Amino acid sequence: MSGVRGLVVEKLAVTGPAGAIVHPVDVVVPPGRTLAVIGESGSGKTMTARALTGLLPSGVTATGRFSVDGDALELPADPSAWRRVRGRRIVLLMQDPFTSLSPVHRCGDQIALTIRARIAFERGADRAAAVRRDRTVRGAVQAEVLQRLAEVNLPAEVARAYPSALSGGMRQRVAIAAALAARPRVLIADEPTTALDASNQGEVLDLLLSLQRAYDMSLILVSHDLGLVSGRADEVLVMRHGEVVERGRADHVLVRPQHEYTRKLLEANPSINDVMGSTAASTGQVGPTGQAGATAEFAAAGAVPLASTDDSFGPESLLFAEGIAKRYGTTQALAGVDVDVRAGEVVAVVGESGSGKSTLARCLAGLDAPDAGSVRLGGETLPPRRRGRTPDQMQIVFQDPYSTLNPVFTVEQTLREALRVAGRPAEDLTELLEMVDLGPEFAGRRPSQLSGGQRQRVAIARALAPRPRVLICDESVSALDVSVQAQILELIVRLRDELQLAVLFITHDLGVVARVAGRVLVLRRGEAVERGTTADVLTRPQHPYTQLLVAAARDDSIARQNHDPAGSLP
Amino acid sequence: MSGQPGAPPGSLPGPPQGSPHSGPSATVGPRTTQLRLLPRGPKPAWSVVASFVLLGLVALAAIFGSVVFADATKQSILDSLLPPFTAGHLLGTDELGRDVFALLVAGTASAVVGPLVIALGSMTIGIVLGTLAGYHRGWLDMIISRFSDVLLALPVMLLAIVVAGIFDAGYWMTVALLVLLFSPSDIRIVRAGVLEQAPRPYVEAAQMLSLSRWRIMFVHVVPNVWPLIVTNVLLNTSFALVTLSSLSFLGLGVAPGTADWGRQIADGRGLMADNPAALIAPAVLIVLVSMAINVVGDWFGERLERKGIR
């Protein structure tokens, strides 16, 4: 196989202490081409990526062989063999730009480190330190740092900045610059944009792809986000339980999936375009006539669905908050925001991190006391500071399924406690579990024995135990895999209808909004920039910021939309 | 506004669909986050096993020692200063003719019970004050933290010597004093653990259910700090063992003539030439037991951490 350019992987398998994690897989990625590896958590996609850089956790081993531009490596390889490959021919770009950069070194120095390592390698020296002492290269290294920063569209000042001074998107650009400074032949990007805001994701990924083409690298893009991958990858590999269930050209697999699992993934992937189609009709409150029906219904209900007007507000709403403001230190997290939610309605609050949407949720729930403004529930004004004083009226479901339940409590203990608080009999436990589609066998389990989706179901059951009238969901599905996400969203919509809940749904994901919400509130830097019905805001955004958000979300699913009508449903 | 919902209410009695890989085929491969594939079954090292055996023997001696060797402190000048391995006296006798082995066994209770009481007592203070400080923050935290700072600034040994010496305090008085002096480290450790747990969503969810503060603190939060607590109790036990023995070596806390390891070392100092075991045996025992407690404490802490909280 010598002479073959690009990355060639043969019979790569990964084995852990509990058995096979990845079953043998063959992959070829020619230079300049992109392979997307898609799957949900536990599918083995990250392990595959890590096996190619020799960065597997202890107790996990890889077998097989791979070659980069004909230079082969047999696995398992010893550390010295890896040093020849890792960080030189193959570079791994990590998911989290908040931890992959060293917090105590300037960004420029971190890029320079890679450059010096490369120069040292080219000279045949073993250590980058030898190059650091060499004054003749110093100027060249500095010049290249600036060049690399310019390449990722960052100003030269960033070289002197510490990572903490940069936004997530900028940090990931620095990480890309550092990764490319090694001039690798193969770049493995493990969920490179998952930790970024929606509007940043497409931009950073496109930058990565343009650099990949410019340098003629092979790129492996590991992702769970089908929307992001479609239109960007050449080939797709869909993994499940460590096995490849489907592979092929991206425009085939993502448009006409052959395997049922791929089809399920595509369907579960929430897309902003749902608001146009039948999904909104079945899950939203827009009724069978779809978008037009929604508009009509809101107009009839006195909620004029015009953007940027306050007409859609009514103090008669179940939850009605006015002028909520909150300041943390010198940051104005919220600058006077109004919200209202009626019984049996889902209102989404959309914004990027830092927009104040979580602060809004906390102020409404009474976990934080707002500096100004009032919260009224069923016509009654609530005291601002009431941590744990209004149990049955309002409940909140948090984002992270891993810390939302007390790890030492069983499901039963958690739910019994919530029932007792509301004065409900302990026998209601079964009913509560049924409500969130969990069998009675879950009662005795502890959180560590549950999956993320199951934990979130328990959290929802706990929140509903006191029969609240308002449910606040603070990014409650963003930590979950898409298929689980779809189930939880369905559950929330169903409970909204069954229990006539007023639901305030905080999210950064417009695809999720399209699935569940009847109305939307767009927050930016603590201010409401737009509000209206979901259909209106997503199809005719008025505010430039909303337009940007919608455009970013639309780009990600555009490929699907174009092919969708006949393709995905055989 | 109820309309026609997409999902018919209550018509989904199917199996729980929480995880895409909870099906039967999920038996292969890891289920949780991929990087959490570190050692699963803790296999105790030989040092842990040996420590458990030693501590088991010590526990037996502490419970039954004074019964079996009821006359350990009986003096018999005729048999004084017998070397080790004399028939009937495994470790020989001291200058008063007391059997060194019998003294060791009979002294176990006073050597071990005191430190246990000190560690548990100070941890009780630590749990109450540390949790209050860590959960409530604010002025209460200020007061409790400054209180523990002041206690921490006091030299434990010196203060114990002064108090025990001047007021001629007995064994239990000394133990009570040490309970107080050992508490600041417990307060700090529990406070730090609670501080870390308090902002977690499960605590906020409990607040949203308006559970009482006491219930949230001691039923929800403290059990999650348990690994820290257990480890520190054992660590303090071994430290208190050394401290108490040092005090009785100086002749404080323990009445002369009682069976006690520290006392034995003090008495054995002059007997190196005649019966070295009178000095070496209790000294080695103190070191071994405190080491064993440390080893077991570490092992417990690691295990608890691995089992529960992630």
**SS3 of residue B7 by DSSP:** coil
Higher pLDDT, A329 or A563: A329
pLDDT digits (tens, 9 = 90+) for A199-215: 778 888 889 999 999 99
Give the lowest-confidence range in A287-296, B135-144, B207-216, B219-228: A287-296
Chain A touched by B11 (CB under 8 Å) = no
C-alpha–C-alpha distance, residues A445 and A25, integer Å = 36
pLDDT confidence bin for B75, thresholds 50/70/90: confident
Query: Residue A311 pLDDT > 60, yes or no?
Result: no
* Nearest chain A alpha carbon to B14: A437
What Cα–Cα distance (Å) separates residue A481 from each residue in A41, A224, A358, A476, B291?
Answer: 7, 8, 21, 12, 48
The helix (run of H) or strand (run of E) holding residue B247 is: helix B222-249
Q: List, as ranges, residues 219-248 from B with C-beta within 8 Å of A.
A: 220, 223-224, 226
Q: What does pLDDT average to over chain A?
A: 81
Chain A residue numbers with beta carbons less than 8 Å from the beta carbon of B223 are 406, 408
φ, ψ at A440 (rounded to 5°)? -65, -20
Inform me whether the C-beta atom of residue B7 falls under 8 Å from chain A C-beta atoms.
yes
Min CA distance, B17 vs chain A (Å)?
8
Segment A43-61 mean pLDDT: 84
Mean pLDDT of A419-438: 88
B18 vs A: CB within 8 A: yes
Is the pLDDT assigned to residue A3 strictly greater than 70?
Answer: no
pLDDT at B297: 86
Task: Identify the pLDDT of residue B29.
Answer: 36
pLDDT at A125: 64
Q: Can you give the pLDDT at residue A278? A: 36
List pLDDT tens digits, range A528-538: 999 989 888 88
Q: Does the distance separating the beta carbons of B209 and A391 come in below 8 Å?
A: yes
Residues of A in contact with B304 (CB under 8 A): none
pLDDT of residue B1: 39
pLDDT-wise least confident of A136-140, A395-399, A556-560: A556-560
Q: What is the pLDDT of residues A182-193, one digit of tens each?
A: 889 999 998 888
Query: pLDDT digit string (tens) for A258-269?
Result: 888 888 888 777
Is residue B192 within 8 A of residue B134, CB to CB? The reply is yes
CB contacts, 8 Å: B31 with chain A? 42, 451
b/e per residue A305-333 (b: at least 16 CB within 10 A): bbbeeeebbeeebbbbbbebbbeeeeebb
Which residues, in sequence order, are bridge partners of residue A327? A332
C-alpha distances in Å from residue A22, one per residue of A16, A51, A60, A444 = 9, 10, 11, 32
Q: Is the pLDDT of residue B191 over 90?
A: yes
Set of chain B residues whose Cβ sits within 8 Å of the Cβ of A387:
207
Contacts of A388 in chain B (CB under 8 A): 206-211
Could A21 and B34 be called an inter-chain contact, meaning their C-beta atoms sit closer than 8 Å?
Answer: yes
* pLDDT at residue A240 is higher than 50: yes
Looking at residue A130, what is its pLDDT?
Answer: 66
**Residues of chain A above pLDDT 70, percent:** 85
pLDDT tens digits for range B175-187: 898 999 999 999 9
Q: Would you state the pLDDT for residue B171?
A: 82
Tell me the pLDDT tens digit for each residue of B162-176.
887 777 767 888 889
* A187-191, A195-199, A310-314: least confident range: A310-314
Instruction: Please answer yes or no on whether B208 and A42 come within 8 Å at the CB atom.
Output: no
By C-alpha distance, the chain A residue nearest B307 is A448
The bridge status of strand A345-350 relative to strand A331-341 is: unpaired
Instruction: Provide the pairing of β-strand A34-38 with A218-223.
Output: parallel
Residue A40: list chain B partners with CB under 8 A.
20-21
- In the prediction, which pLDDT does A186 show? 93
pLDDT in tens, A175-184: 999 998 988 9
Q: Is the pLDDT of residue A569 over 80?
A: no
Residues near A146 by beta carbon (within 8 Å), at least 6 away in sequence: A156, A159
Which residue of chain B has the CA closest to A57? B35
Q: Does any CB of chain A come closer than 8 Å to the CB of residue B47?
A: no
How would you classify the pairing of strands A34-38 and A235-240?
parallel
Q: Report the range of poorest mean pLDDT among A231-235, A551-555, B241-245.
A: A551-555
Q: What is the pLDDT of residue A466?
A: 87
Using the Cβ of B3 and the Cβ atoms of chain A, whether some distance falls under 8 Å is answered with: yes
Taking an 8 Å cut-off on Cβ atoms, the answer to whether A398 and B201 are in contact is: yes
Q: Could you give the CA distance from residue A24 to residue A34 in angstroms, rounded to a whole number?
A: 20
Looking at residue A218, its pLDDT comes to 93
- Answer yes or no: is pLDDT of B133 > 70: yes
Q: Residue A413 — pLDDT band, cuts 50, 70, 90? A: very high
Q: Which chain A residue has its CA at the smallest distance from B309's CA?
A: A407
Across A250-405, the runs of DSSP E, i.e. the strands, are 319-328, 331-341, 345-350, 372-377, 380-382, 394-397
Using a CB-CB cut-off of 8 Å, the residues of chain A touching B14 are 437
> What band does A555 get if pLDDT is binned at 50, 70 and 90?
low
Higher pLDDT, A61 or A304: A61
Q: Is B24 on the interface with A (CB under 8 A)?
A: no
Chain B positions touching A448 (Cβ under 8 A) are 308, 310
Q: In the predicted model, is pLDDT for residue A100 greater than 90?
A: no
Q: What is the pLDDT of residue A389?
A: 58
Query: In chain A, pLDDT over 90 holds for what percent of residues?
Result: 17
- Interface contact flag, B18 A18, Cβ < 8 Å: no
What number of other Cβ atoms are within 10 A of residue A91's Cβ? 23
Provide the pLDDT for residue B193. 93
Contact at CB, B224 and A407, closer than 8 angstroms? yes
Average pLDDT of the segment spanning A223-235: 83
pLDDT at A423 over 80: yes
If you compute the radius of gyration of chain B from its CA atoms, what whole number of angstroms results? 27
The token pair that represents B26 in the structure block: 């999920």
Chain A CB within 8 Å of residue B2 CB: yes
Q: Quick one: pLDDT band at residue B32, thresholds 50, 70, 90?
A: very low
Within a 10 A sphere around the Cβ of B158, how many other Cβ atoms? Answer: 9
Partners of residue B228 in chain A, C-beta under 8 Å: none
Element (H, E) at B303: helix B277-307
**For range A363-389, the mean pLDDT:** 81
Mean pLDDT of A132-138: 75
Give the closest-approach CA distance of A475 to chain B in angstroms: 13
What is the ipTM, given to two decimal places? 0.71
What is the DSSP code string of A67-117?
EETTEEEEES--HHHHHHHBTTTEEEE-S-TTTSS-TTS-HHHHHHHHHHH
